[in-house]
Amino acid sequence: YNDHAGICGYLNNGSGGACNATAKAYIQTAKNQANHYGNAPVGGVVGPGLAQLDSTLSKVFPITERVRLKAQVDMFNVLNRTNFNGLNLNASNSNFGTISSAFPPRQMQLGARILF
């Protein structure tokens, strides 16, 4: 397997075949013709990136002279952007070349700590 993969690019590019709006393939998964040289450079098949904004808000409230209460809110993926996991690169799997899962949506957690 010394042939290079064929990159689909945008899924709705209208090129037909394995690269169309109904396919989930990120790379061309169909068997290429003999001696076909794909359009992917070495190391060019990479999965989608991760773009996520996380934030923390905290406040310390004095209770007594030596005891304080720290309240905290942690927010992950604040903008609720869909971030896909990597490609399925197992060639014997029927989902080869597809992205079949995503990272979790926006999540929040509340916490409190007594400091003394």
pLDDT truncated to tens, each residue of the chain (116 aa)? 455 666 665 444 444 444 544 445 556 655 555 565 666 666 666 777 788 999 999 999 999 999 999 999 999 999 999 888 877 777 677 777 778 788 899 999 999 999 99
How far is the C-alpha of 56 from the C-alpha of 109, rounded, in Å? Answer: 10
How far is the C-alpha of 88 from the C-alpha of 37, rounded, in Å? Answer: 22
Tokens 């949506």 belong to: 105
The pTM for the full model equals 0.57
Write phi, then psi, for 102 (nearest 5 degrees): -135, 160
Does the CA dihedral 32-35-39-44 come out positive or negative? positive
Single-letter amino acid, residue 78: V
Strand (E) or helix (H) holding 59: strand 55-62
